[in-house]
Structure 1
Amino acid sequence: MMKRGLKLLLAIGLALLVLAWKLPTAAADSVGYSVRAILPSNQDDAQANYFALRVKPKEHQRLAVLINNTSNSSQQYLVSVNQAVTNDNGVIDYSQLKPKLDSSLKVGTKDIFTKGSNQKVTVPANTQKRVYLTYTMPAERLRGIILGGVYVEQVPSKTPKKSAAKILLNNAFAYAIGIRLRESPLTIVPDMQLHQIQAVQINRRNFITANLQNPQPGIMQKLTINARVTKVNSNQTLIRQQQANLGMAPNSNFNFGIPWGNQNLPAGRYTLHLAAKADGQNWQFARNFTIANKTVRRLNKTVLTPAKQPNYWLYALLGLLIAMLLAIIGYLLYRNRREKSAK
């Protein structure tokens, strides 16, 4: 009986090991499709798996991406060519269909790619299909680069309506293939400028944000930012934020956030001290700004109130006082009994 039990436990253990071994493979195959670029002859970076192209003024070219539907059913995909921007996490972002473009951007993807670049494509089950995207370069010679991306997202399959008590969550997965177009091999050095500083609220937490701009048609990589806020004419740091491995798209801007947390903002005059470095370049900014009373009232109404922590010191003190009172009462009762017995 004992041996049969051991054999059963061993069999269950082996089954669990096999299941654990197969789970990662199943998760990897669950996406159901893949996308890759068909690189043309004017690719000027042999190591890149995205479109890194040398182009000419007035040049007209058709690019192709291959969508491979590995699922057992026909699927639809949204394909678009998007301008590269910098999101507020300091990441170069190709996913925004209609991003807010920086004022320094003169020629972007929307200016050179045809309207047919945004399309819905149907790919049968277990089939590959090429999707074509066409651009025409402007007549005027291009300085620096145009940076964008082919963004491919699967259209969710229609599901029956659920009752209010049942909420269905669909996991979305998308591919982005970069497009970098340049007419000259010369690299344009990026730059950084500091613009508006303001108090805002993100997810019910107060932040100071600094708008940082790269006004040049060059990519900024390996960006590190160290920012702190003080009162005007003071060296005492009130809040600080440091981040590394950030990036900025050409001719883009983003809001670098310095969290004030879930504390109330006090009105007043402050100084932002911000240091940044990227690819051997360094920038230093020190600028005064004001948080107005009306801003404080508006933000502090909706800030997430921190949960009150138990006051353990108070509990300990109360416990000690109770113990002392019990000891005194016990002593008094004991003394009273002795006095009665003595009589």
Structure 2
Amino acid sequence: MKSRKFVIFLLSTFLIFSGLAFAQTAQAVDGLKFSVTPNIPDNQYNKEVSYFDLLMNPGDEQEIAALLKNPTDENVVILPQINSAMTNTGGVVEYSNHNNKERIYDESLKHNIEDIVQLSEKEITLSPGEERELKLTITMPSEEFKGVIAGGIYLAQKGESNKNNDEKSSKETSTSLKNLYGYQIALLLRNNDELVTPKVVFEGAQADQLNVRNAVSLKVRNSTPTYINKVNYQAELKKKGSDEVIAKTDQKDMQFAPNTIFDLFVSMKGKQYEAGDYVLTGSIVSGNNKWPVNEEFTVTREQANKFNEADPDVEPESYTLVIILGAIVAVAVLVAIYLIRKNKQQKALLEKLKNEKNKNKS
């Protein structure tokens, strides 16, 4: 910190003078005025789950449906979407992502579910007590693929809550995710049951913030068409060349969606950034798979000041000690100057008296 270096300087001067197993089913937030039930077809791959997990041949076309119900005594307007699976900053897979596509698609993604599944309707109005099927048409890619194409059906309820979320979303940081108001149902497509070996790639670490709090971000890619489950992320942040741990994390039971790119964070927990070189070390572990983390990065003075000023948990630097030491040094310098001048004056006076005495003798 600037104050620490300045204090050391002042003290030195004064002395001179004196650190997929958990793919989501239909999920919703409270307050919705409708319900949804997936109609699971015969070609369901995993019959133990209530979301869509379909085994289909290359080039197949199939229609599936979900039953929508309005048990209330008023009209309900539903806005269905098809979204590719994503991984959020907490290591949780979501299917409600919207208007944030550039963050979630990894370059390894070959087949986007948003291009494969078509909705029969983009807006549905249910009368009081009405039930209706939402139909979806799936057209599988012509070439066979390994792993899964992952995404979900998102069913938002049109109303004031959507407007509020839109306004909120526009003010969120780049690391935030828009959480719409509705149900999400996972939709997985596969050609076979052949296992895919997962692969995690790191794209570097950097000084960042999460929810306007200082946190180091690690860019992570799941570059394979498979879920990575039961993930444990452990990491420590140190200044380069130092053994002092500035911040650390131990996050368990995370899940990475196929072919996604995302950020994982290590919170600074109210600590300031200092300009300098840092190293983030640790590992990401899933079962027998382990990917070591060893990422170096530099924090500039401008970055440190910007993040520290924005973080409300970072206490402003106190300059009281600096002022006191500065005053002591200033007094010491003045005293030294006074003593030097006085000594010179005394020497001059003695020299003058000595010369006058010699002159009188002669």
TM-score normalised per structure 2 = 0.70
Q: Which amino acid counterpart does residue 67 of structure 2 have in structure 1? A: L
Alignment counterpart, residue 247 of structure 1, candidates 248, 255, 270: 255
Change (3 A) 1:69 1:254: same
Q: Which amino acid counterpart does residue 143 of structure 2 have in structure 1? A: E
Correspondence for 2:11: none
Change (3 A) 1:280 1:304: same
Alignment counterpart, residue 209 of structure 2, candidates 193, 201, 205: 201
* Contact 2:210/2:265 (<8 A) preserved: no
For structure 2, the 5+ residue unaligned runs are 1-28, 162-178, 317-362
Matching of residues 100-179 of structure 1 within 5 Å: 100=102, 101-114=105-118, 116=119, 119-156=122-159, 173-179=181-187
- Note the C-alpha offset of 1:197: 0.8
TM-score normalised per structure 1 = 0.73
Are positions 1:238 and 2:246 aligned together? Answer: yes
Q: CA offsets, 1:233-279, max 9 Å, x none?
A: 33321110111111100001211111113332101111111212113
Q: Within 1, Cα distance between the matches of 2:286 and 2:120?
A: 34
* Contact 1:190/1:250 (<8 A) preserved: no
**Secondary structure at 2:268 match in 1:** strand
- Note the C-alpha offset of 1:136: 0.9
* Contact 2:75/2:128 (<8 A) preserved: yes
* Contact 1:81/1:117 (<8 A) preserved: no
Change (3 A) 1:89 1:154: same
Q: Which has the higher contact order (CA 8 A, sep 6+)?
A: 2
Name the stretch that deviates more: 72-81 or 118-127: 118-127
Q: CA offsets, 1:143-186, max 9 Å, x none?
A: 2110101111111269xxxxxxxxxxxx9741111111000111
Correspondence for 1:334: none
**Secondary structure at 1:250 match in 2:** coil
For structure 1, the 5+ residue unaligned runs are 1-27, 159-170, 309-343
Q: Within 2, Cα distance between the matches of 1:35 and 1:194?
A: 38
Correspondence for 1:298: 306
Q: CA offsets, 1:13-67, max 9 Å, x none?
A: xxxxxxxxxxxxxxx9954321111111211221111111001111111110111
Q: Within 1, Cα distance between the matches of 2:212 and 2:30?
A: 38
Q: CA offsets, 1:104-157, max 9 Å, x none?
A: 11111122123x466111111112110111121111112211010111111126
* Contact 1:224/1:242 (<8 A) preserved: yes
- Note the C-alpha offset of 1:307: 6.3
**Secondary structure at 1:119 match in 2:** coil
Q: Which amino acid counterpart does residue 111 of structure 1 have in structure 2? A: D
Change (3 A) 1:204 1:97: closer
4+ runs deviating over 3 angstroms? 28-31, 305-308
Q: CA offsets, 1:211-239, max 9 Å, x none?
A: 11110001011111111111213332111
Q: Within 1, Cα distance between the matches of 2:227 and 2:298?
A: 32
**Secondary structure at 1:261 match in 2:** coil
